Amino acid sequence: MGKIKLLLVEDDKRLASVLKKGLEEKGMEVEVAYDGTMGMRLFENKAFDILIVDLILPGMNGLELCKSIRRTKASTPIIMLTALGTTDDKLEGFDAGADDYLVKPFDIRELFARIKSLLKRADYSGDLNGDNVILEFEDIRIDTQVKKVYRAEQEVKLTPKEYKLLEYLVRNAEKVLSREEIAREVWGMDFDTGTNFIDVYINYLRKKIDKTFEPKLIHTRPGMGFILTKEL
């Protein structure tokens, strides 16, 4: 993977030390901030390939830090660490701009796998290997360079996760996508059948992409998954 520059924002100094040592043993360069304000200051002044952010931090918490980073238009991948693992907690983290969510306690090998997955996807979304800058399906148009979405020439405002989900649907239009595929490719995680966060995000997209437009394009195939198509 080369020398990955990673920012770890974690107020538990013992855990931060363990993670720093483990990730440095994997060949990464790790800087540590012990509160959200310090994390934001480091992010603004140095270049990082990926961030690991604890949810509960003194001063600026993890959600506020994620939102502040995304307001700068930065697309740097963010993994959120938390002791909370409910669907609502995960949705709140994703809405704030986190790309992945890891519940404590966890094995550092799992964290490393998540890091590799996110960096791989970051390269993909960075338009390498001649990927299209403009994606289109019916009257949906996505400008992947500036991360803007249009339907019938009207700009549609999406959260970072809604955008990634729609981009994946458009790239795979006319194909039935299972919840497992979507969880793996958009969130970089295995689908937990005990949660419904993918259905929640599909509904978010429907309200913004389909509700006031015709024809409806996002459809459910019962027992199979979801498909972006003009006609079932």
Q: Look at residue 128 in the predicted model and tell me its pLDDT.
A: 29
How many percent of the chain have pLDDT more than 70? 91
Alpha-carbon torsion (210, 193, 76, 173), positive or negative: negative
- State the Cα–Cα distance between residues 200 and 72, nearest whole angstrom: 27
- Domains of the chain with bracketed CATH: 5-125 (3.40.50.2300), 134-228 (1.10.10.10)
Q: How far is CA 214 from CA 100, 162, 165, 211, in A?
A: 33, 20, 20, 8
User: What's the rounded Cα separation, in Å, for the pair 229 and 231?
Assistant: 6
Query: What pLDDT was estimated at residue 201?
Result: 92
Q: In angstroms, rounded to a whole number, what is the distance separating the alpha carbons of residues 61 and 9?
A: 10
- Whether the predicted model's global pTM rises above the 0.75 cut: no
Which residues of the chain fall below pLDDT 70?
Answer: 1-2, 85-87, 122-132, 190-194, 232
Please tell me the predicted confidence (pLDDT) of residue 131: 44
Could you read off the pLDDT of 107-150 as tens digits, one per residue? 888 898 888 888 877 653 433 233 447 888 999 999 887 888 99
pLDDT value, residue 127: 36
Strand 134-137 vs strand 140-143: parallel, antiparallel, or unpaired? antiparallel
* pLDDT confidence of residue 25: 84
Distance in angstroms (rounded) separating the CA atoms of residues 53 and 35: 10
* pLDDT (0 to 100) of residue 231: 73
